[in-house]
Amino acid sequence: MSEKTYLTTDFTLRSWFLTTDHKRIAILYFASLIFFFFIGGAAAAAIRIELATPQADLVSSDVYNRLFTMHGIIMVWFFLIPSIPNTLGNFIVPLMIGARDLAFPRLNLMSWYIFMLGGCTTLFAIFAGGVDTGWTFYTPFSTLYSNSYVIVAAAGVFIAGFSSILTGLNFIVTIHRLRAPGLTWYRLPLFLWSLYATSVILVLATPVLAITLLLMATERFFGVGIFDPRIGGDPLLFQHLFWFYSHPAVYIMILPGMGVINELISCFSRKEVFGYKFVAWCSLAIAAVGFLVWGHHMFVSGQSLIASLVFSFMSFIVAVPSAIKVFNWTATLHKGSIHFDAPMLYALAFIGLFTIGGLTGLFLACLAFDVHATDTYFVVAHFHYIMVGGMVTAYFGGLHYWWPKITGRLYSEYWARTAAILIFFGFNLTFFPQFILGAEGMPRRYHVYPPVFQVWNVLSSGGAAILAVAYLMPLFYLGYSAFFGKRAPANPWNAPGLEWQTSSPPPEFNFETQPVVTREPYQYNERFDAEPQNA
């Protein structure tokens, strides 16, 4: 190995912390997100330990409130939202389109610093005494009653929002302007379509979150009447503004995962994605229609019946493009030459778990059902099936798929498959019982519960223990492979994407010569009908 790769051009700390190389910035994000995932995970572990028994034994109600708030805030804004876009996206987007870097490399670095500033601000709030409002910061609790570090925590989220906006902007401009010659829109890998749709949401929705948090802080700090009816505010305004951001944000948290799944399914079925154009446009449809459904979080809030009906109807509409994708993935598998490599195991898990999460979302979108299920564990199970079963699974799948490209090393297929299976098993054991608990009426956000619920809670906590071990495993075998693994060839999966045409790991500016695209994506059958080689 005499050629310099992006990892070996320079070894100084300075060369990492002042880098403008999208690949190195992706690594910075990887490291930061692992850190935040552990903090959020620690809170989850404490919650599940507490809930193993009906009484309060580990923490008081006050501490419990702080735990689930910390878990939610960290996992949503400091793990899931940046997860795939800022790590895999950052690394792969320029490679996939045959560019030297993102359109604004320095902005990319700045977005990482802003993210870290926001993260540290929120962490400070958490360790100085915590926040107890839940990740939703609902008023009037957050503005009038809570005695916790609401403003500091919200400030961290506010700051991190700018990082989201910059990333979205960077991706949009990159995909518009830096595509290799011949790479038309309909030749883009579907991962890029989904990241493009995600970026549009990031740019259009995040400012509303910033304004909402600012208004909340203004009312809390200065007593200006915005949400408090006694001083002229409207109590539901906060929820409207918050969910105008946060429902689209749940699509920020799933679209990139869907994008990764397209790449995995087609690679390990050795087939092109069925209905390419449908899948591509469904990403944009989800992004657009996702803005019209936020009121389904407010069915019991006292919003008008007409509004509830409209939002309920729109929620059914928004499920259509997601369902189209699921059917198209299934059709892609049909008559494929299926290989159960580790990334494929994650992809298959994704399809099943996402489908359960999405379908239960439709249950919740029914007005009459939601009155019973809202604020119960049914909702908790619903969104964990999508966010953890879906997005985190896709994240791991993508990480394994592109790992040889990122590190230039091969991991142990045996351990990778074991971890994938264990994650699937642990996940379902943790969250499926929560559907049952919710259907039986166990409310969310309490640290004690009637003893009749204990069996399902013990199962759930047991599953969480398995899940914790399973999530730790990649840290070891991937970590080991990064230093001692077998060298990866440029294209270990025999995949046609541009990212596989440069060496593994790529040189600093990605390609020795400017690649030119002459074919549609996912042409596995023509030149690339060989099998994947990672053994």
Partner 1 sequence: MTDWRPPLPLIGAWLGLLALLALTVTLAYVPLGAGNAVVALTIGTIKAGLVAAIFMELWHRRGLTLVFAGAGLFWLGILLWLGSMDFMTRT
Task: Give residue for tokens 């979302």.
Answer: 361
Burial of 184 (0-12, 13-18, 19+ CB in 10 A): exposed
Tell which positions 128-157 bind ligand HEM, by CB under 6 A. 136
Q: Is 79 in the site for ligand HEM (CB under 6 A)?
A: no
Q: Could you give the CA distance from residue 516 to residue 182 in angstroms, rounded to a whole number?
A: 6
- Token pair, residue 373, equals 């299920």
Stretch of 229-237, 365-373, 375-383, 505-513 contacting partner 1, by CB under 8 A: 229-237
Phi, psi of 116 (to 5 degrees): -65, -40
> Nearest to Cu ion by Cβ — which residue?
247
- Token pair, residue 201, equals 């949401």
The single residue among 90, 206, 239, 315 that binds ligand HEM, judged by CB under 6 A, is 315
Quick one: 137 or 311, whose CB is closer to partner 1? 311
Q: Could you give the CA distance from residue 481 to residue 422 in angstroms, rounded to a whole number?
A: 20
Tell which positions 153-182 bind partner 1, by CB under 8 A. 172, 176
Region of 505 please: left (phi>0), alpha (psi -120 to 50) or beta: beta
Q: Give me the least distance between CB of 314 and partner 1, in Å please.
A: 9
- Token pair, residue 314, equals 């729109």
Q: Is 393 in the site for ligand HEM (CB under 6 A)?
A: no
Q: Could you give the CA distance from residue 420 to residue 393 in angstroms, rounded to a whole number?
A: 9
Q: Give me the least distance between CB of 30 and ligand HEM, in Å please.
A: 21
The single residue among 8, 127, 232, 234 that binds partner 1, judged by CB under 8 A, is 234
How far CA 342 is from CA of 83, 397, 477, in Å, comes to 20, 7, 13
Please name the residue ranges forming H helices in 290-412: 305-333, 342-365, 367-373, 377-386, 393-407
The single residue among 52, 107, 307, 421 that binds partner 1, judged by CB under 8 A, is 307
Quick one: 192 or 253, whose CB is closer to ligand HEM? 253
- Binder of residue 386, out of partner 1, Cu ion, ligand HEM, none (CB less than 5 to 8 A by kind): ligand HEM
Q: Is 188 in the site for partner 1 (CB under 8 A)?
A: no
Neighbours of 416 (CB within 10 A): 26
- Binder of residue 178, out of ligand HEM, partner 1, Cu ion, none (CB less than 5 to 8 A by kind): none
Q: Is 295 in the site for partner 1 (CB under 8 A)?
A: yes
Q: Is 319 in the site for ligand HEM (CB under 6 A)?
A: yes
Number of residues counted as binding partner 1 (CB under 8 A): 25
Binding stretches for Cu ion (CB under 5 A): 247
- Token pair, residue 56, equals 């309060």
Q: Could you give the CA distance from residue 416 to residue 345 in angstroms, rounded to a whole number?
A: 10
Number of residues counted as binding ligand HEM (CB under 6 A): 24
How far CA 235 is from CA of 75, 219, 320, in Å, comes to 27, 12, 32
Q: Is 364 in the site for ligand HEM (CB under 6 A)?
A: yes
**Residues 251-265: b if buried by 16+ CB within 10 A, e if exposed:** bbbbbbbbbbbbbbb
Q: Which residues contact 92 (CB under 8 A, 6 or more apart)?
A: 191, 402, 405, 499
Three-class DSSP labels, 229-259: HHHCCCCCHHHHHHHHHHHHHHHHCCHHHHH
- Nearest partner of 385 among 348, 426, 354, judged by Cα: 354
Stretch of 154-162, 307-315, 362-370, 416-424 contacting partner 1, by CB under 8 A: 307-315
CA 146 to chain centre: 29
Tell which positions 236-265 bind partner 1, by CB under 8 A. 236-237, 240-241, 244
The single residue among 386, 388, 423, 442 that binds ligand HEM, judged by CB under 6 A, is 386
Q: Is 383 in the site for ligand HEM (CB under 6 A)?
A: yes
The single residue among 68, 291, 396, 435 that binds partner 1, judged by CB under 8 A, is 291
- Binder of residue 374, out of partner 1, ligand HEM, Cu ion, none (CB less than 5 to 8 A by kind): ligand HEM
Quick one: 25 or 381, whose CB is closer to ligand HEM? 381
Q: Which residues contact 1 (CB under 8 A, 6 or more apart)?
A: 487
Q: Is 404 in the site for ligand HEM (CB under 6 A)?
A: no
The single residue among 22, 297, 405, 409 that binds ligand HEM, judged by CB under 6 A, is 297
Q: Could you give the CA distance from residue 190 to residue 276 in angstroms, rounded to a whole number?
A: 8
Q: Give me the least distance between CB of 387 and ligand HEM, in Å please.
A: 5
Q: Is 303 in the site for partner 1 (CB under 8 A)?
A: yes
- Binder of residue 240, out of Cu ion, ligand HEM, partner 1, none (CB less than 5 to 8 A by kind): partner 1
The single residue among 107, 204, 436, 482 that binds partner 1, judged by CB under 8 A, is 204
DSSP tag of 532: P
Q: Could you give the CA distance from residue 429 to residue 457 in angstroms, rounded to a whole number?
A: 10
Stretch of 45-53, 112-120, 175-183, 247-255 contacting ligand HEM, by CB under 6 A: 247-255
Q: Could you give the CA distance from residue 291 to residue 203 in angstroms, rounded to a whole number?
A: 13
- Binder of residue 499, out of partner 1, Cu ion, ligand HEM, none (CB less than 5 to 8 A by kind): none
Q: Give me the least distance between CB of 155 and partner 1, in Å please.
A: 23
Quick one: 294 or 346, whose CB is closer to Cu ion? 294
Q: Which residues contact 78 (CB under 8 A, 6 or more apart)?
A: 33, 36, 40, 115, 118, 119, 122, 160
Kindly list the residues in this chain that would bind partner 1 in the complex (CB under 8 A): 172, 176, 200, 203-205, 208, 234, 236-237, 240-241, 244, 291-292, 294-295, 302-307, 310-311
Kindly list the residues in this chain that would bind ligand HEM in the complex (CB under 6 A): 136, 250-251, 253-254, 296-297, 315, 318-319, 322, 358, 361-362, 364-365, 370, 373-374, 379, 382-383, 386-387
